[in-house]
Amino acid sequence: MEEREGKNKFWKGIVIGALVTAFFGLIAVTAATGIWLMGRMTANQLGASGQDVSDAGAEDSGEKDGLNISEIGSKLTYMETLVNQYFLFDEEEEEGSSYSTEDWIYSGYMYSLNDPYSSYYNAEEYASLTEETEGEYCGIGVQVSQNVYTGLITVVKVFKGSPAEEAGILPGDYLYKVEDMEATGEDLSILVSDHIKGEEGTTVHLTMYRETTGEYVEMDVERRMVENPTVEYEMLSDGIGYILLSSFEEVSSNQFITAVDALEEQGMKGLIVDLRNNGGGVTQAAEDIADYLLPDDATIVSFKGKGVPESIYYSDDGHSVDVPIVVLVNGQSASSSEVLTGALKDNDWAVVVGENTFGKGIAQGIFELPDGSALKLTTSYYYTPSGECIHEVGIAPDVEVTLDEELRSLVEVPKEEDNQLRAAMDVILEGEDAVRERLEAETEETDESTEEDVFSFPPEDGETNQEAPEE
C-alpha cells in the first residue's frame, strides 16, 4: 500500500511542475463550456479515419508522435526509485481526488501543449461535465470567470433568489478558496463540477476576497437545485424589445426564437440583445440565433484549423428580424457571444454598444477515448464575416460605453440606472451617430490608460507578508 501511495505522489509531482508555468494561461470564460466545434468524436469514428485506438492507454515500447515511449518510461522509473528512496516528505493524497497514476501522466502531457483551452478529463470528470442538466443543476447560483493571464476567478453574476445571493456573494468578488483549496489557477470546469456543485442540501465553504473593502469573507453556502434560464426577455418602453442571453446551451436558440416571436407579436420596433458576461457555450446555438436574425445568404462565421475541414456557415432559414438591433457586450462576452456579435456587426445588421469583447477566437473539440475519458483540443480559428480573426483582440463596440463603477458590484443592475442599457436604447431611438457624438461631448477628457499593478491576494488574518521558500 505504501509503495502504491508513493507512486501516486511521484506522478502527481511531475504534473505539478508543469502546472506552475501554466497558471498564467488559463481560461477566461464563464463556467459555460466554450465552443465545441468538433462535437464528440468516438473511438469508432477515430478508427474509421485510419487511426489505431484499440490499444489506447496501453504500454508501447516504440516511438509515437515524436515521443520515445521506452526511453521516457525508463527515465521515469529511475526517477521514481530516487523519489521513493530519498524524498523527505510523505504527502497524503488529495482528499476526494479521482485521479490515478495514469491520469496524472495524461494530464501532464496535455499541459505540456501550453494551451489553456486543451485539457484531459478522466472518465469521472468527463461524465460529470457532460451530465444532462436540462437548465437546472444542484449548485449555488453564480456565474464565474477566470482570467486568462492570472488564473484569478471572479464572480460576474449572482442569480436572483439563489443560495449565493442569500449568503452575500457579490459580483466582482474573487473566489479565493473552496473549502481549504486555493481556487486560483485550478481548472475552472473541474472546480465547478467537482467542488462547488454537489448533493442537494449539503454546504460548501467558500472564502471570497472583496477588493472594494479589502476583506476576506467566509461563508457556508447551501447547494440547491438552481434554475438557470439562458434567455430572459421583456418589452421596454417605446416598443423596444430586450433579450438577455446568459449562455449558449443546446436549448438557447429555441428559447431565443420564442422570445423574438413573442416580442414581435407585441409590436416590437427595436431589439436589444444583451450578451454582457456571456462567456459562450455551444457554437451551434450562436449560429442558429444569427441565422434567425439575419436575412438569407449572409455569412455568419467561418472556421479554419488543423485536421478539420474548412467551413463557412451562411444564413438560410428564410427568416430575418428587420428592426433596429443593438448588441450589448463587455469584456466578459466571449467565444460564442463573439460569433453572434461578429455576424451581426459585420453584416451591418446591428450596432454594438458597450465595451471591447474578450477575444476568444479559437474553437475546441471533444474527443472521447475508449475508456470513457476525453481530450479537449483546440482545433481551429474562427473568423467573422469580414475575415477577421478576433483571438486575443476581441470586437470593438461601435459605441463605447463603460458601465458606471457603482453598478459593477450589484447583484442586479436596475434597468433605469443601467447606463449601458440606456445608451443602447438611445441608439435605437436617436441613431448611432447622435449617441456617439453626445457621449463624446459628455466626456471632455479621455483618461489615458495607466499600467495596472499586478494583483495579489493580501495576507489573511494571522498571516504575514514574509517570503515563502520555493516549493
DSSP notation for 10-71? HHHHHHHHHHHHHGGG---SBSS---EEEEEE-HHHHHHTT---TTTTS--SSEETTEEHHH
Instruction: Report pTM.
Output: 0.75
Residues shown for the chain? 471
How many angstroms separate the CA atoms of 278 and 133, rounded?
Answer: 19
287's CB contacts (< 8 A; 6+ apart) are: 300, 301, 313, 339
Q: Which amino acid type is present at position 374?
A: A
Known catalytic residue at 335: yes
- What confidence score (pLDDT) does residue 322 get? 97
**Catalytic residue status for 360:** yes
Q: Which residues contact 452 (CB under 8 A, 6 or more apart)?
A: none
Phi-psi region of 140 (alpha: psi -120 to 50; beta: other; left: phi over 0): alpha
The three cell numbers locating residue 371: 475508456
Count of C-beta atoms within a 10 Å radius of residue 192: 22
- d(CA 407, CA 54) in angstroms, rounded, equals 56
Among 189, 253, 335, 336, the active-site one is 335
Say what the pLDDT of residue 46 is. 44
Domain with CATH 3.90.226.10 in the chain: 231-442
Cell readout for 225 is 437545485
CA 62/CA 59 separation, integer angstroms: 9
Strands 351-354 and 136-139: unpaired
Give the CATH architecture of domain 231-442.
Alpha-Beta Complex (3.90)
Q: Kindly provide the residue ranges of all beta strands, DSSP E only, lying in 179-291, ordered along the sequence.
A: 181-182, 203-210, 215-222, 224-227, 231-235, 240-245, 270-274
What per-residue confidence (pLDDT) applies to 268? 98
Q: Answer yes or no: are the C-beta atoms of 146 and 177 closer than 8 Å.
A: no
The set of cell numbers assigned to 38 is 468538433
| Cross-strand partners of 367 | 41, 375
β-strand partners of 22: none
Identify whether the C-beta of residue 377 lies closer than 8 Å to the C-beta of residue 51: no
- Residues 404 and 385: their CA atoms lie apart, in Å, by 32
**Tens of pLDDT, residues 307-336:** 888 999 999 999 999 999 999 999 999 999
Spans of the chain, pLDDT less than 50? 1-64, 132-135, 446, 448-451, 464-471
CB pairs under 8 A, 24+ apart, for 42-49? 42/368, 43/368, 43/369, 43/370, 46/367
The angle formed by the CA atoms of residues 225, 226 and 228, to the nearest 5 degrees, is 145
254 membership: H or E segment, kind and range: helix 252-265
Catalytic residue among 337, 360, 373, 376: 360
DSSP 24: G
Q: Does domain 136-227 have CATH number 2.30.42.10?
A: yes
pLDDT tens, position by position, 184-194: 988 787 888 88
Catalytic-role residue among 194, 346, 418, 426: 346
What pLDDT score does 320 carry? 98
Give ranges for CATH 2.30.42.10 in the chain. 136-227
CB atoms within 10 A of CB 446: 7
Return the pLDDT at 453. 52
User: CA Rg, the chain, in Å?
Assistant: 24
The candidate with the shortest Cα–Cα distance to 368, out of 11, 95, 125, 144, is 125
Closest CA to 271 of 301, 298, 245, 299: 245
Residues whose CB is less than 8 angstroms from the CB of residue 262 and which lie 6 or more positions away in sequence, other chains included: 233
